[in-house]
Structure 1
Amino acid sequence: MITIHDPIYGEHDIDDVLAELLQSKAVQRLQKIHQGGASFLVNPTWNVTRYEHSVGVMILVKMLGGSVEEQIAALLHDVSHTAFSHIVDHVLEEQDEDYHEQIFMNVIEASDIPSILQRYGYDYRMIEKWEQWTLLEQPLPNLCADRIDYTLRDLYTYGMISKQEMCSFLEDVTVHNGQICLQSVQAAEWFTEAYYKETIDFFLHPLNSYGYYILTKVLKEALQKNIIHLSDFSTDDETVLHLLRNCGDCVIDKMLSSLHSKVVLEESDTEYDICYKGGKERLIDPLIYINDMMQRASVASPFVKQCNEKAKKQLKQNIYVKIKSV
């Protein structure tokens, strides 16, 4: 066993198999992949990595009583993410934003992970049976360790929630029949509000939308000109950026130089340069377990119901951004 420290969950002992997986090339690569895609290029403080998130999800699953097998699945759940995370889905025009899921087992099998797991008596093929990992992944509107961690980690790192708020919420998280739920209406209301700060205020922030738009254009152009190839996405952000910055193509140089925090943007649906089509519903409605009774937060709380109605409208709307100056 080794002890690891996480800024959200504190110190935790983890099993030897997890310690070895942490040091594997496949998992270490995630240290150079930013969770927010292009976010770090337009705001250097938006710098959470897939590695930090993966370690966090593993710890949270452990805290909630998950088996070592589920902790392994948690640590590895994002191992197939490509450079710039979900940007590749925009580049390849994958509507379901699931390219990393399509290539997941290929990435695992080409890595050092199967041999590490085998040494500890585990079969790597257990990982892909996602339906058995009920703490790790759940469809919306349910809570799951993945969803809780990326929400808390982003918002805490970017100063949008306090450590005290986060710790109070985590104390309220429990598990009933293998399902993550909350023990109070207050915790459900807090997380619902936090979740929409993440998925609307942060994900759909004009600067974030701009970063996604420009980097997608850069990568499409570079692929078309054979400056980079699809296989390069299996490296990391740093490696692909190096190829782009040293390609000597003036069109790509110009676009890359416009990725910075001082760009001036304006939301305008009459005169715009960027349009992101709405429609992807990311609604949360946590389960609350109180007095031996399970119910949806929206049933117990008018506030949660109101938040969801508002979010539903916002998520259906297109986002229009005018680039005023770069």
Structure 2
Amino acid sequence: MNIYHDPLYGDFQLESILVELIKSPPMQRLKGIHQGGASYLVNASWNITRYEHSIGVMLLIRKLHGSLKEQIAGLLHDISHTAFSHVIDLSLDINREDFHESIFHKVVLDSEIPEILERYHYTFHDIFSKNWPLLDREAPFLNADRIDYTLRDVVAYQDISLDACHTFIDSLFVQDDYIVSDSLDRCVWFVRMYKKEVIDFFYNPLNVYGYEILSSALKIALEKKII
């Protein structure tokens, strides 16, 4: 049985297509790409990977009864992230932090992913030709991407309990393609968690220092065509 366990969302039996995609080289590559970019270089405990996050996004969409297509889109949404994640955006002076999005189609099409999709009667167009509402909505609306990285980080880095996260997750449901909560208190709690994520982690002086030093080094390397 294809059972996957995640501490945030529990145990799930996965379809074979999801298992094949998870085992594919493009997904396995994400085990070596840290969610926080340069963070782990200045604090070894800041080591959550894009692989963990990507599977988490897929599982949250699944928990919310999103379609299999949207689960696949969630699983693969970060597949084109380069080494050090968003540090490359700083190095290239890309204010929108969307370099990985600009190369997404090429990375996917040049990989094993289209072949895996075709074996299960899906196409690239089926998965990547639309915006998926559970996966990606602009703030202040909730989306699976933002929920997962926030909760995953605050548990690992901010000493927030799994029980508190589970209480929030269990309050979630989908209404008219929006992720909503049945509890105002839980919504306020999540806003506080997201503030902790931004202020205490993203803007942590050590984190900012790591980003600035590495992005400067990468910029010099790019200019000298070392990489």
TM-score (norm: length of structure 2): 0.97
Task: Give 1:197 shift.
Answer: 0.5
Return the structure number with greater relative CO, CA threshold 8 A, min gap 6: 2
Runs of 4+ residues over 6 Å off in structure 1: none
Other-structure match for 1:149: 148
Other-structure match for 1:216: 215
Other-structure match for 1:185: 184
On the 8 A contact 1:130/1:137 being kept in 2, the answer is no
Counterparts of 1:62 and 1:141, CA distance in 2: 22
Map 1:125-274 onto structure 2 (within 5 A).
125-131=125-131, 133-228=132-227
Aligned-residue Cα RMSD (Å) equals: 1.0
Other-structure match for 1:116: 116
Task: Give 1:160 shift.
Answer: 3.1
Counterparts of 1:93 and 1:103, CA distance in 2: 16
Counterparts of 1:207 and 1:129, CA distance in 2: 39
Other-structure match for 2:93: 93
Identity %: 52
Q: Deviations over 1:172-210 (max 9, x none)?
A: 111111110010110011000000111222101100100
On the 8 A contact 1:33/1:49 being kept in 2, the answer is yes
Q: Highest Rg: 1 or 2?
A: 1
Counterparts of 2:159 and 2:128, CA distance in 1: 34
59-68 vs 218-227, which moves further? 218-227
201-210 vs 153-162, which moves further? 153-162
On the 8 A contact 1:3/1:14 being kept in 2, the answer is yes
Other-structure match for 1:276: none
Other-structure match for 1:57: 57
Counterparts of 2:113 and 2:171, CA distance in 1: 34
Counterparts of 1:29 and 1:51, CA distance in 2: 8
Task: Give 1:159 shift.
Answer: 3.7
Counterparts of 2:89 and 2:188, CA distance in 1: 32
Task: Give 1:164 shift.
Answer: 1.1
Unaligned segments of structure 1, at least 5 residues: 229-326
Q: Deviations over 1:47-82 (max 9, x none)?
A: 000000000000000000011111100000000111
Counterparts of 2:176 and 2:215, CA distance in 1: 42
Other-structure match for 1:74: 74
Counterparts of 1:29 and 1:143, CA distance in 2: 28
Secondary structure of the 1:127 match is helix
Other-structure match for 2:14: 14
Code of the aligned partner of 1:218: A
Map 1:26-41 onto structure 2 (within 5 A).
26-41=26-41
Code of the aligned partner of 1:35: Q
Counterparts of 1:4 and 1:171, CA distance in 2: 19
Code of the aligned partner of 1:22: I
Secondary structure of the 2:173 match is strand
Structure with more of its chain in strand, by fraction: 1
Secondary structure of the 2:128 match is coil
